[in-house]
Structure 1
Amino acid sequence: MSLVGFVLILSGVVLIACGIVILALAAFQLLRQIFSAPGVAGGVAPPVPGVNLADLTKLIEAIVKMPQWLLAIVAGDVQIWLGFLIDGKNLWQ
């Protein structure tokens, strides 16, 4: 295995792992914000559970940003494929 191919494969795996972890953390944080109950201030009754406009806006913003993360994951896959190609390995057989 050549050094260049190994570095491309390893960096592609790292890129994919980082993209998936960051996407999972962002989704977890968004869900935590949506389903967390706001504090009661000054004897005011807590609001009825549900999604308010700010939470809905955050959800839409996360969906809009998702293709960038998917593009990063696909770039990592291509990087791994290129590393195998440089090493002379055929993944399609």
Structure 2
Amino acid sequence: LCLLSGLKHREGEGRIYGDNWNDPEGIQYLYYSEDGIHFEPCAPFPNRASGIFIPEGEDQKDITKYWGVSVATADAHKKRYIERFDFIKKNPQTT
């Protein structure tokens, strides 16, 4: 994997990867790790400019309270637009 960007938050880290960071269906993800070593996908996230909101207080402990906006376009020749993305927490029992 080719590391493009990183985000340090509390004891965890988020990473945005390039190259082969797609799942088998071709969806790209933002990856998150509490230990900085074992990363899990936490939000569908194609490679593009973005900003992430991290809440204050007790909500910081729940990654599902995080969200962000990113620049997107369906076609390189069309206008770009801003879209929202949300974070999910993968259920460890389903892996």
Q: Which has the higher strand share?
A: 2
TM-score using structure 2 length: 0.22
Greater helix fraction, Structure 1 or Structure 2: 1
Rg bigger for which structure?
1
